[in-house]
Chain A
Amino acid sequence: MPEFEAANDAELDVTFVPWEDVSTRLNTGFAGGTAPDVFGHGPAAAAGLAESDRLEPLDGFIELLEPSDLEDLAAFLVGGQVNGSQYMVPLGGEGRLIAYRKDLFADAGLDPDDPPSTWNDAYDAAVELTSGDTAGLILQTGEIQRVQSFMGLLGSEGGQLLSDDGAEVTWNSDAGVRALEYFVRLHQGDPAVSDLLGADFANQPAAQNPLATGSAAMVMVTSGQAVQIARARPELTDQIALIQPMSSAEAEMFGGPGPGLFMNKDSGNKELAWAFMEFMLSADVSESYAQVTGQIPVRASAKDGDYVADEPLIASFIEAGPNFVGSPNVPAWVEVRNVIDQHLERALHAEVSPREALDDAAAEAGPLLSGE
């Protein structure tokens, strides 16, 4: 901040807000006319805020970037677009991969250098790895996180959540049912290989992650979690490895652009607001931001930088980049996601069958997608 303020003869008033409070603070800010000029939020919020006419389109500013910068940022910029218009500039990338403990693999008689490459192989390995104190395979099942886990499984089965135009539900296809059946089997199968259903690893200290404590042999992690676990337990650095996206029909995992910066349409400082966003996208600052947060660098050229060299786990996430699938950019996405989340939870607790859960979610989400 001081560097930007000095370079632009400006004074920034920065407010740090816990992630779970971002929407609350922003919405009340919009209602009261006190929303900030620039704010950080996730790409899932982009379409809804754009439809509510709260976002300044950034296309005019983006055009002013150097062609070389545009090319460097291209992979993640597209995730900040809604109907072809740029509304968010991502500050980093995020993805989910399965991390595993080599020592626990060896203890179970499995080859630590030959991890499973398909979801079915992963289940079989998890059966071998599961013991009284150790779960074989844990996907993220906290609130909202279970939707992201499901999206990875769904993509692996060759399915997708919505039709290409975003108007119709397609998650209750046969591929969707197979994906959810697999997810449920981890927790309710015979044998069950997973534990801690509903636990929120995203907001947990890294040292308490089941991978760090050894209470799980394979755990779904974000890039940030993987880096933080390695930093919190340096003695495990050589024992933790990542598996590239596993496949059923295809190899996909949830991922894409992470939270980024938006410009308030009512801002009275749009030029300065863009100057700040451009500053955050600059090579040095964006790499330093990714390093602190443990995210995938937003610039492709950063793969040759010091951060990736110092954090070998990040290289695996960059390699998996083409296999990441993100959230649909539809206005009602946040509400639709909450609906899916509720019904996935019912299926994971074996309250209803996977088919019934997905059909119920589709029936409830249909009117939201059509704007009712």
Chain B
Amino acid sequence: MGALFVAPAAAYIGIFHLFPVVYGLYLSFTRYSPLDRGGPQLIGIDNYVDLLSDADFHKSVRVTVQFVAEVLPFAVAIALGLALLANRSMRGIGLFRAGLFLPRIVPLAAVSLIWLWLYSPDGWFNHLLGQVGLDPRNWLLDEGTALHAVAGMRVWKALGGNMVLFLAGLQAIPRTLYEAATVDGANSWQRFRYVTLPGLRPVTTYIVILNIVYLAQSFAEIFILTGGGPLRSTTTTNFLIYEEAFQNNRFGSASAMAFVLFALIFAFSFMILRRMGSNR
């Protein structure tokens, strides 16, 4: 009887989660175009071997790492600062929290389209530059600024969600710890350093790993804002996978890239988890 209750959920997970992963792994050992009537043809580990000498793939991994490195520290540190502000009890704090959380509930594609205009030659950022007497910039068309511009948007988008998690973490720290620290003569910085930060360690670890997983798979914002350009300076690995699969019709090679990306994300997340989780 128990198995019957579990069956629908198990079927859902099996069909919509496990099967695509296993099929994707199988495809990574094949040559396959969806246009071919013959279906996938097994070619062993050729797709993985080809990735070793694929300059576009190597560059995409570097771009992905740089993108994560640019977004993550700001998305975590600023969210923590906002959570500390939002944790105070004051008039209108609910509105303040809601305002900060708003970007989180707007779809990434919609946010990207709005920022596409903000970054456009006639957009808001160039208007601001003009107000202070500076020349306009081609934010998304210049190799030197495109990735930073996308990262800036992504930091803004990530703040709301991270802030709410930090806020929950802050409210879970027992008040008695702060009272004891105050009795011991700790000032506000010492209470933050020796009570708040250690108390937030589990939620910080969760936020860092969650952000790495999301950011390393960035696609929609790249697709809408830059299309991977200029000069592939914003082509993340996930975007390259899309190009390989749906523009070049090489599903086997794209699947191999996807599993290498998965391995990199898994290894990096595991390393972070070990480091942050064990440093007690």
- A→B interface (CB under 8 Å): 23-24, 27-28, 30-31, 48-49, 52-54, 143, 196-200, 208, 213, 215, 334-335, 338, 342, 345-346, 349, 351
Per the bound structure, the CA–CA distance linking A268 and B120 in Å amounts to: 47
| Cross-chain contact of A338 among B122, B230, B248 (Cβ < 8 A) | B248
Closest B residue to A142 by beta carbon equals B227
Residues of A within 8 A of B122 (CB): 208, 213
25 contacts between A and B (CB under 8 A): A23-B246, A27-B34, A27-B249, A28-B34, A30-B34, A31-B35, A52-B35, A52-B36, A53-B37, A143-B227, A143-B229, A197-B138, A198-B141, A198-B230, A199-B121, A200-B227, A208-B120, A208-B122, A213-B122, A338-B247, A345-B229, A345-B230, A346-B231, A349-B231, A351-B231
Q: Does B33 contact A (CB under 8 A)?
A: yes
Residues of B within 8 A of A54 (CB): 35
Q: Does B143 contact A (CB under 8 A)?
A: yes
Closest B residue to A132 by beta carbon equals B135
Smallest Cβ distance from A360 to chain B, in angstroms? Answer: 12
| Cross-chain contact of A27 among B35, B37, B121, B227 (Cβ < 8 A) | B35
Q: Is the CB of A48 within 8 A of B248?
A: no
Per the bound structure, the CA–CA distance linking A53 and B36 in Å amounts to: 8
Interface centre among A31, A208, A338 (most CB of B within 10 A): A31
| Cross-chain contact of A196 among B121, B248, B249 (Cβ < 8 A) | B121
- B→A interface (CB under 8 Å): 33-37, 120-122, 138, 141, 143, 227, 229-232, 246-249
Smallest Cβ distance from B84 to chain A, in angstroms? Answer: 41
Residues of B within 8 A of A23 (CB): 246-247
Residues of B within 8 A of A197 (CB): 138, 141, 230
Residues of A within 8 A of B232 (CB): 342
Residues of A within 8 A of B231 (CB): 345-346, 349, 351
Per the bound structure, the CA–CA distance linking A177 and B5 in Å amounts to: 70
Smallest Cβ distance from A249 to chain B, in angstroms? Answer: 31
Residues of B within 8 A of A208 (CB): 120, 122
Q: Is the CB of B230 within 8 A of A27?
A: no
Q: Is the CB of A31 within 8 A of B248?
A: no
Smallest Cβ distance from A133 to chain B, in angstroms? Answer: 10
Per the bound structure, the CA–CA distance linking A53 and B38 in Å amounts to: 11
Q: Is the CB of A349 within 8 A of B143?
A: yes
Closest B residue to A143 by beta carbon equals B227
Q: Is the CB of B121 within 8 A of A215?
A: yes
